[in-house]
Amino acid sequence: MKERLGVYICHCGGNISDYVDVEKVRAAIEHEEGVVFAKTTMFACSDTNQTDMVQDIHEHNLDGVIVASCSPKLHLTTFRNVTERGDLNKYTYVHANIREQASWAHSDDKLGATEKAIHLVKAAIAKSRYADPLFPNQFEAEKTIAVIGGGIAGMKAALSLAEKKSNVILIEKGNRLGGHTAEWGSLFMTDEKGFELTTRIENDLRKYNNVTILTGEEVIDTKGSIGNFELKIRRQPQKEDDPMEIMELHVGSIVVATGYDHYLPKQGEYGFGTNETVITLPEFKQLVDKSTSKSLEFKGKKINNIAYVYCVGSRQSEGENTYCSRFCCTSVIHTAIEAKKKFKGIQNIHLTRGIRTYGKQELLYAESLQMGDVYLEFDEHTLPEIHTEDKKTVVTVKDILSAGKEMEMEVDLVVLVTGMVPRADQSIGSMLKLPKGRDRFFNEIHMKLRPVETVIDGVTIAGTCQGPKNISESVNSALSAATKSFSYISKGTLETEPIIAKIDQDACSWCDKCSNACPFDAIEQIEMGGRTVASVNPIVCKGCGMCTPVCPVDAINLIGYTSEEIMSMIDALA
């Protein structure tokens, strides 16, 4: 029970004091039980006030501090740190929000706003009396990181971690590293071939002793949580009679870089599968890359006119892939230019939905225009049509750049510019319980603020498993994910917030209501003294409080928000 409390009431310039009579609030609470003094201040968060607070704590020998100011989202941490500097336990600090909840919400009713502010501060004082010192939970963390997926993103993440002197295990299901990147021919802007790039990175990786590369091995089960994940790995049998090999790995954090699948057009989509002159972008890239003759030939026929149909399997108005696959405009224009330079008599005709060669990739578009490539544009309502006339492939399209005039062209090859889709094999995501976005790729917590973290602590996502990206974007996200994963476990210990659920195991009789209510799977069943009771995994629990009210015997308390504290706050508000 705290007995020496200091209360600060902030003007917030005028944000609070224009509507809330802060002097009246001070007068109303200064004689509350345990309050040693109450002060008003122009800006509680200012450096001078912070210094004064530290001095006050020492001078008045305070054991609890309350600041009534803005939202705790803004300054809770600020004032917790101030009390820590005053040698108090920072979790004893209590914050009252009289700006968002009083002055801003009731700017039309100054008396009412003041009255509400008084109650809020009284409630905070009531909570403060019961606020116990708390200490962060500390755990040992495995200092090894698993990277799942050996494509460009996974390799770069592993390399980055290796450079940070972390132990890395790179797990690839296939028999070689490099993923889709290794299948591409020359790449924009370097003209380096895909496999040259991936081989270079692989060679770099193999120089490090702290990197273990597992190929042909698949993750089949995961357990545990941040700091202590347990992965079960199955070695793919090389021959039919090979015994199944299963091994267990212990890692502190996981980078998921499982990549994407190429969109495969449906049978008959733009003549795919029915017209043999219709192929996809990956097939075309292979064709251009592998052909060594002076002219381009496909199935024994010389190719001159090539039509490229953009956004196949992307930006669909009907269909589930509403997103843009980002890389395809650049990739196809790059390949078209390459084909024109490499072979004689090539005329490229692009049927686009608007060119998205953003940033420096625009140079490629400009080059293609200069080389005489023709661009026609259609929208989602009038897709191009492909049919056969006298054994010739004819493409028609209503060109919106020519006022919707219908254009016709005879072509030797139709390239469907296919985009990216999420992996058909979603097992890693299901095992780790990674949430997916509307586009069915894995979802980050916040696109801008926390772009590689997932809601599963300790698991980061890199590359195209998160959504379509080109190679450099994949690499950027991989470096970011690697750094984030490393930061979780680099100290060898983990600290988590002490504000979590705590179960009174004497009162508990395991009814599973709490574990059902828990969104983070933090509650498990354990045997204790011959009884089955619930137990909270302190590493996984986020302190959300979902389990507390559902317990029929009231055996769960949320540390920092105990029933005692909450009830006393309600009493103060009444």
Q: Which residues bind another protein (CB under 8 A)?
A: 347, 349, 355, 365-366, 369-377, 396, 399, 401-403, 405-410
For residue 397, the minimal CB distance to another protein (Å) is 9
Supply the angle between the helices 563-573 and 110-130 in degrees, to the nearest 10.
150
Closest to another protein by CB, 393 vs 515, is: 393
Per-residue tokens: 316:
């669909």
3-state secondary structure of 478: helix
Closest to another protein by CB, 142 vs 373, is: 373
Closest to another protein by CB, 247 vs 401, is: 401
Closest to another protein by CB, 261 vs 406, is: 406
On the 0-12 / 13-18 / 19+ scale of CB atoms within 10 A, 177 is buried
For residue 409, the minimal CB distance to another protein (Å) is 5
Count the Cβ atoms, other than its own, within 10 Å of residue 205. Answer: 19
For residue 403, the minimal CB distance to another protein (Å) is 8
Contact 178/202 with Cβ under 8 angstroms?
yes
For residue 402, the minimal CB distance to another protein (Å) is 5
What is the enclosing helix (H) or strand (E) of 339? helix 328-342
Compute the C-alpha angle 536/541/547, nearest 5°: 70
For residue 310, the minimal CB distance to another protein (Å) is 15
For residue 343, the minimal CB distance to another protein (Å) is 16
- Angstrom distance (rounded) from CA 327 to CA 472: 10
- Angstrom distance (rounded) from CA 249 to CA 261: 27
For residue 371, the minimal CB distance to another protein (Å) is 8
For residue 350, the minimal CB distance to another protein (Å) is 11
Q: DSSP alpha helices (H): ranges in 388-438?
A: 427-432
β-bridge pairing 420-422 and 501-503: unpaired
For residue 370, the minimal CB distance to another protein (Å) is 6
- Angstrom distance (rounded) from CA 322 to CA 263: 13
What is the enclosing helix (H) or strand (E) of 352? strand 347-352
| Of 561, 565, 567, nearest in space to 498 by CA | 561
At which residue do the structure tokens 């700017």 appear?
107
For residue 412, the minimal CB distance to another protein (Å) is 14
Closest to another protein by CB, 411 vs 558, is: 411
Instruction: State the distance between the two ends of the chain, measured CA to CA, in whole angstroms.
Output: 21
At which residue do the structure tokens 């045997």 appear?
527
3-state secondary structure of 450: strand
Closest to another protein by CB, 71 vs 396, is: 396
Our separate counts of H helices and E strands in the chain read 13, 30
Closest to another protein by CB, 47 vs 389, is: 389
Closest to another protein by CB, 266 vs 387, is: 387
Q: What letters, b where the CB count within 10 A reaches 16 and e where it falls short, cover 186-199?
A: bbbeeeebbbebbe
Closest to another protein by CB, 38 vs 309, is: 309
Closest to another protein by CB, 330 vs 474, is: 330
3-state helix, strand, coil in the chain (%, to 5): 30, 30, 40
